[in-house]
Structure 1
């Protein structure tokens, strides 16, 4: 694995850990304010799936015996970078409401600005899916990509349905 890919992996892990820190901080504040969490079990499954995807892609990249495809790595890193920008925009739009879980506070407001104006679930569509594809491409990990993404989609689809139900429960104008 080339050194630039190792640096990318370190940066990606740092980004994920820093967003986890922000999420935990927001979650604690929301729950102190009386917020309710939905789909807790699926949140655990998603966290495990995300971690497993990263581990599988890294292992596949490290154990790779075929010639390294630099163009694929650069494409993957670019896609990952765009996904990270989308995540930043989502966090900025939601502010202290953003977590990696489905948590709705009593004074929750429905956000329809930023990327939410364009896409109903920008964190999933513009961040998570491109992030996973980009990470696997950057690590030249086609097996992880081909097997991991479809498997990840199972709990992600469940998450979207759970989030939709929670939003409809709390917002009468959520269609």
Structure 2
């Protein structure tokens, strides 16, 4: 990867990594408030799928001898940067209830965000962060096999998560 693209990628990756610490802190706080976790096994599967997707993209890129300094890498970096930006927009929008797990706090602590972003995009964390993130990483590393095979595999637990989240939110919140 060219030095500029490498620096940008690692900087964005660090931002992605920092989001995990935010998630862990929020999870601890939510559980102290009495939050309930739903779909724990699917959350674990999503974590494995996410790590595998990154790992396979990196492996395919280096094994395939991609040069990482072309327009495709630039496009992937832009898409990846957009995804990280949207991740932090979502985190800021829902603050203390944002985690990588499906946790629902008691009603007194958990409100439904009805802002523009959440009215416009039903699940912005998944559609504006996760999916562009995966596509961006695949483009950066020229990982076509991972994109063609791995993304549909990843979509299975992601669709399950969305379905679980929809069910839980409708059960817990009349105004959802």
TM range (shorter): over 0.9
Quick one: distance in 2 between partners of 1:21 and 1:11?
Answer: 16
Quick one: distance in 1 between partners of 2:38 and 2:113?
Answer: 18
Contact conserved, 1:57 with 1:135, CA < 8 A, in 2? yes
Match of 2:34 in 1: 34
Matched, 1:136 2:157: no
Alignment RMSD (CA, Å): 1.5
Q: Per-residue displacement from partner, 1:107-146 (whole Å, max 9, x unpaired)?
A: 2101111411211100001110011001110111111111
> Normalised by the size of structure 2, how large is the TM-score?
0.93
Quick one: distance in 2 between partners of 1:3 and 1:55?
Answer: 20
Quick one: distance in 2 between partners of 1:69 and 1:11?
Answer: 17
Match of 2:47 in 1: 47
Cα deviation, residue 164, structure 1: 0.4
Quick one: distance in 2 between partners of 1:60 and 1:5?
Answer: 18
Moved more, 61-70 or 126-135: 61-70
Quick one: distance in 1 between partners of 2:25 and 2:115?
Answer: 23
**Aligned to 1:160, which of 159, 162, 169?**
162
> Normalised by the size of structure 1, how large is the TM-score?
0.93
What are the equivalent positions in structure 2 for 1:17-32 lying under 5 Å apart? 17-32=17-32
SS of equivalent residue, structure 2 residue 121: coil
Match of 2:120 in 1: 118
Contact conserved, 1:57 with 1:144, CA < 8 A, in 2? yes
Structure 2: state its 5+ residue gaps. Answer: none
Cα deviation, residue 68, structure 1: 5.3
Quick one: distance in 2 between partners of 1:147 and 1:166?
Answer: 30
Do the aligned partners of residues 141 and 69 (structure 1) sit closer, same or farther apart at CA in structure 2, a change above 3 Å counting? farther
Match of 1:73 in 2: 73
Structure 1: state its 5+ residue gaps. Answer: none
Contact conserved, 1:93 with 1:114, CA < 8 A, in 2? no
Contact conserved, 2:42 with 2:161, CA < 8 A, in 1? yes
Do the aligned partners of residues 68 and 92 (structure 1) sit closer, same or farther apart at CA in structure 2, a change above 3 Å counting? closer
